[in-house]
Amino acid sequence: MLTRLHSLRAWSRSHQGRKLIRYTLVSGSSTIISFAAISGFYGLKIIPSVIWSTLAGNLVASVPAYQFNRRWTWGKRGKSGFRREVVPFWALTFLGIGVSQIGALWARHEVRAHQWSHLVNTGLVAFANLASFAIFWVLKLIVFNRIFHVDTIEEIDEHLSAEESTPS
């Protein structure tokens, strides 16, 4: 057990580990933002439609998700490459929003079919969105890793290993 903890700790210090941890933190943050936005929009009846509140909540979360992933997770600076970065990110984002709309349609059906309180309906709408985006998490990681990478992971890990073995 202790050996596994040491190897997990060593992996978390590798480029791959740090990148996955950062991607996970950005994903978690954007999930919290979309969850809060959808709950607020729908729960406070700012946007009374399940479909439109889900769309708006996810769009609100997408803008910081792009910037944080690009800069912090993948370490990219400067102008975004439109074809290599912006288009694939937003294509996947809208695909994910499309899946969340399927969840919203299901939630809308359940809301209309039952006489639950608005609070329960709000929870259902927000959790349907959460489940929809959970489906996309790994796919997006794989695609974004290809979009934003600068060097291959092997090259970076070799560089980091060389730095660690060099006496200070």
Residues 78-132: tens digit of each pLDDT: 888 888 888 888 888 898 899 899 989 999 999 899 989 999 999 999 999 888 8
Rounded CA separation 88/73 (Å): 16
Is the CB of residue 26 less than 8 Å from the CB of residue 74?
no
Q: Whole-model pTM? A: 0.72
Q: Which two tokens stand for residue 152?
A: 């291959």
The answer to whether 57 touches 107, Cβ cutoff 8 Å, is no
Asked, for residue 65, whether it belongs to a domain, the answer is: yes
Half-sphere exposure of 51 (CA within 13 A, CB side): 4
Range of the domain at 91: 21-149
Is residue 165 situated within a structural domain? no
Q: State how many domains the chain has.
A: 1
In the 8-state DSSP scheme, what is residue 80?
A: P
Q: Tell me: the pLDDT tens digits for 42-92?
A: 999 999 999 999 999 999 999 999 999 888 887 888 888 888 888 888 888
158 found inside a domain: no
